Amino acid sequence: MDARRKQVLPSRVEEDQKAAYTAFMADPSPENEMQLAITADTNQMLLRYATRHKALTEYMKLVVCEAAELFKPFQEAASKVLQEELEQRRQNKTTLYTESDPAVKQCRAWVDEMSRAGTRLLNAHCGHYTPTELAKFFLEDEE
């Protein structure tokens, strides 16, 4: 779960109320008084935090779904190439698999890359990556 969503977990309400109270007692400035007033109503804070947390979670899912849609054509293209190669080898009665075959090595590299990207998408969907971290992963080859 990314840091922004952790900051607005409803379970943080009491902690933030105590922090605002402590800050006000140490320095009764208008800014600290405003923060104390904002955090005074527990029900309002719970609602505010829960709404922000839900919105951030939905945004994360949206970004991951968009990333999956961008990823899908590459996965389908690689699958098509692999299926065509397999069918051609079957028709020519060629050995289907040898370690030294350059086509097999290329296919293995594609499968590894697809697996890696798929794992990142799954982890992002579960909240282990922020949209920014996910974007960096997919753009790393272009830099």
Pairwise CA distance, residues 71 & 66, whole Å: 9
Q: Look up the pTM and report it.
A: 0.49
139 confidence band (pLDDT: 50, 70, 90) = low
Query: Residue 142: is its pLDDT beyond 50?
Result: no
Contact 121, 71 (CB under 8 A): yes
- 76-132 per-position pLDDT tens digit: 787 787 778 777 877 887 666 666 777 777 777 777 777 777 777 666 655 566 666
- Under the banding of pLDDT at 50, 70 and 90, the label for residue 134 is low
Residue type, 5: R
